[in-house]
A and B are shown apart, each in its own frame.
Chain A
Amino acid sequence: MLFSPAEWSAMKLSLWVSLLSVVIQLPFTAWLAWTLARRKVRFSAFIEAFCNLPQVLPPVVTGLLLLSLLGKHGLVGQYLYQWFGVVLPFSTAGVVVVSMVVSFPIMLGFFKSAFEMVDKSFEEAAQTLGYSRFRAVLKFTIPMSLPGLATGVVLAFARCLGEFGATITFAGNIQGSTQTIPLAVYAAFQSLGSEGAMWRLVLVSVVLSVSALLVTSYFKNRRQ
């Protein structure tokens, strides 16, 4: 076997967590991006600044803030535990939440500019061709903004794959449940005699990142 069971587990977890994070946040991010791009929203600058916080905050600070918010005794977390018995920190679900938080600004930014790039007037043109406003958006605006939307999804996915600081703070580094590729690399780096595992996972990270960049450049070229 090329990879050990622990390495496979880290890779599978990374891919699953990234996929879930992207899929779960997609509808809300698309809606918010659409709203910010097309509607007059009060305090839109403030909303955008808040949404972009995870991009500029030190990851460990994001992790700590999430702990104080969603931890078992956190502002929201205490109710999640009391009402539903859900404990997010140090769980796989917690890794998904962290990934969503850190990748959300990337997806939002790309989605918003993708929608802004398609002039509203195309929807008016589609309406004169027999489509309701909603169907005009589905039939023309979405396909026209698809390269930007796809780039946003791929880069958000790549961001989830690379997430480290906030995850280790909020979810720990538990093999099999919260240890993603970056955390496994870190663990291998810290333990003697694990150089082989470390470099194998580094290689996997590089391959995944390069693939993501190739996909985004494909969409970028399509847009041009």
Chain B
Amino acid sequence: MSSLKVDIKVMAGSFAGEYKFALEAGIHGVYGPSGNGKTTLFNAVAGLLNPTEGTVSVGERVLFSSVLNQNIPVHHRKVGFCFQGYRLFPHLSVAKNIVASKGGSTKKPLFNELVGLLGLEPLLSKNVLQCSGGEQQRVAIARALFICPDVLLLDEPFAALDPQNRAKVIALLHKIAQRFTIPILVISHQLDDIQLLTDSILMINAGKVAYCGSLSTYVFSNGPHPTVLSKYKNVLRFSLKPAEVAHYYYALNHTLNLRFLVERAGLYETESLTAMLPPSEIVLSIHPLQGVSARNQIKATVVKLYTEGARTWCVADAGELVVSEITTTAAVELNLKPGDTVWCIFKSVVLEFN
């Protein structure tokens, strides 16, 4: 099993970056505002940009070391790179793009495996320019995986995708992570995309690693930065049970005692569902409410409160940790403090099912 270890300083024009982290096999989200050095980090790992000093290694292989004076060229690094904008070769078919790597051939067993895994069979003879954005994304992933990489880097894979294709790519990345036990780094400036993919996060801010580890731990224990909290959404997981009406399913979350009727679509075939619940959509009450239209009232115990100016985030334990965002004035008026019992109330329609 390979792990990616990075401890480097880079200069790209006037931009200076300093990255230090270690990531094991699995999916990791690389999160941070645009222009803060996420792609620069990827370029340095892939060898497209030389660090000024430091070390990059995958497993036992040292890709770059200023101390050892070692710099493995890009074409020998075995770093799979899915670029933003894909960079597929426009003069080649889908099949030829997938096997475009050196020595690549459609006769290799991995070709059929990747085509099957990524559902590319009907597209193989098409020119890549005739493919939709989602299809091009899948071709780019297949092309990067065809080199049997030691690390897979995906730069903003969701940027140009509609929500349906986004959900498809997320499901595919989970499959890929099961098949290839390598570190898979996914850049996104949308925290909710990363939350749907993984809990492991590498936060980049102003060219530096602001945090590397579990997002839940960061949000629930470490006193997170308000910019992260304001983007954070609760991820609720549901199992599916067929309903009486054809094509409808019940989405069930036993811990929070939630039940929703959802229409079956292609995306729901995995028999589990994820829904995002924005903290700002939750109303906190210190008594259960009666005579309100909101159907969901979850009893919880306040664990932590983070206040930043006019806004307060309340982390409450309802079997799962739920974050809600209220005004600081409301928090003061309710006299909220850890240990208090609260009811988290929200309308069913605010859930964003994926």
Interface positions of A (Cβ within 8 A of B): 119, 121-122, 124-132, 135-136, 140, 143-144
Contacts and interface: CB of A to CB of B under 8 A. Distances in A.
Nearest to A121: B87
Contact of B147 (A119, A122, A130): A130
B262 interface: no
A120 B147 CA distance: 21
Q: Which 3 residue pairs of A and B lie closest in terms of their CB atoms, listed nearest first?
A: A130-B102, A129-B101, A125-B87
A170 to B, nearest CB: 41
A111 to B, nearest CB: 18
Interface residues of B, number: 25
Interface of A, secondary structure class, is: helix
B101 A124 contact: no
Nearest to A130: B102
A125 B83 CA distance: 8
B87 A122 contact: yes
Contacts of B104: 129
B92 to A, nearest CB: 9
Contact of A131 (B75, B85, B144): B75
B91 A143 contact: yes
B100 A126 contact: yes
5 contacts: A121-B83, A125-B89, A127-B74, A128-B81, A140-B100
Given A124-B83, A128-B74, A144-B90, 16 more contacts: A119-B87, A121-B83, A122-B87, A127-B74, A128-B46, A128-B77, A128-B80, A128-B144, A128-B147, A129-B75, A130-B76, A130-B103, A131-B102, A140-B89, A140-B100, A143-B91
Given A140-B89, A144-B89, A144-B90, A129 B48 contact: no
A89 to B, nearest CB: 45
B277 interface: no
A210 B256 CA distance: 77
